C-alpha cells in the first residue's frame, strides 16, 4: 500500500514551491537542499509533473520552476497521478491493457475498485494550499 518515492517527493516538491516561491523562479538545487532530496533524483521526477502542465519553467540564468496555478487549484490527487501515473492499488486497474485474464472471475477486483474510489475521493478532496497550511489531520493517530 506504499506511495512510491516518486509521488512522495513530487508532493513535497510542490509544497516547497508553494511555500518558497516569491517573484522569480526557484532553482531545483534550492528545493533539493531544503527538502534533503538528491537533486539528481528530482531531475528524474520533475519531468513527470512538468509534462502534466503543473509547472512553468525558464532555463538559463536565474531559471527554475514556478507553480503554473495557485496552490489551492492543485489537488493532491492530481499531483500524485502526474508523478505515479495512476492511483490504482493494483495493476489490473491501471490501464485497459493491464486487465488480467482472470479479471472476470476475480472476486478481489471489486475490493480494489472500491479502494481506488475512496483513495481518489480523499486525495482529490485536499488541495495544495491546505497541505502547506497544515490545517486538520494532525490530531489523528
Partner DNA sequence: CCATAAAAATATAAATATATATCAAATTGC
Partner DNA sequence: GCAATTTGATATATATTTATATTTTTATGG
Kindly list the residues in this chain that would bind a second copy in the complex (CB under 8 A): 1-4, 7-8, 11-12, 15, 19, 36, 76, 80, 84, 86-91, 102, 106-108, 110-115, 117-119, 121-123, 126, 131-132, 134, 136-138, 140-141
CB 57 → DNA: shortest distance, Å? 3
Place of cell 533524483: 41
Grid cell for residue 83: 508523478
Out of DNA, a second copy, none, what residue 61 binds, judged by CB under 5 to 8 A for its kind, is DNA
Measured CA to CA, the distance from residue 116 to residue 88 in angstroms comes to: 6
Contact 13, 46 (CB under 8 A): yes
Measured CA to CA, the distance from residue 80 to residue 6 in angstroms comes to: 8
Measured CA to CA, the distance from residue 40 to residue 28 in angstroms comes to: 10
Give yes or no for residue 28 binding DNA (CB under 7 A).
yes
Tell me 27's DSSP state.
P
**Of the ranges 43-51, 105-113, 114-122, 125-133, which one interacts with DNA (CB under 7 A)?**
43-51
Binding site residues, DNA, CB under 7 A: 2, 4-6, 9, 27-29, 37-38, 40-41, 43-44, 46-47, 50, 57-65
Amino acid at each position: 500500500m506504499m506511495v512510491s518515492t516518486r509521488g512522495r517527493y513530487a508532493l513535497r516538491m510542490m509544497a516547497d514551491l508553494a511555500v518558497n516561491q516569491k517573484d522569480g523562479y526557484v532553482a531545483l538545487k534550492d528545493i533539493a537542499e531544503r527538502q534533503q532530496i538528491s537533486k539528481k533524483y528530482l531531475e528524474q521526477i520533475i519531468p513527470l509533473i512538468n509534462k502534466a502542465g503543473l509547472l512553468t519553467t525558464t532555463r538559463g540564468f536565474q531559471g527554475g520552476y514556478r507553480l503554473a496555478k495557485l496552490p489551492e487549484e492543485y489537488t493532491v490527487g492530481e499531483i500524485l497521478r502526474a508523478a505515479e501515473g495512476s492511483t490504482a492499488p493494483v495493476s489490473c486497474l491501471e490501464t485497459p491493457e493491464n486487465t488480467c485474464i482472470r479479471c472476470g472471475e476475480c472476486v478481489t477486483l471489486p475490493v480494489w475498485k472500491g479502494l481506488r474510489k475512496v483513495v481518489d475521493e480523499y486525495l482529490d478532496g485536499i488541495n495544495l494550499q491546505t497541505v502547506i497550511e497544515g490545517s486538520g489531520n494532525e490530531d489523528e493517530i
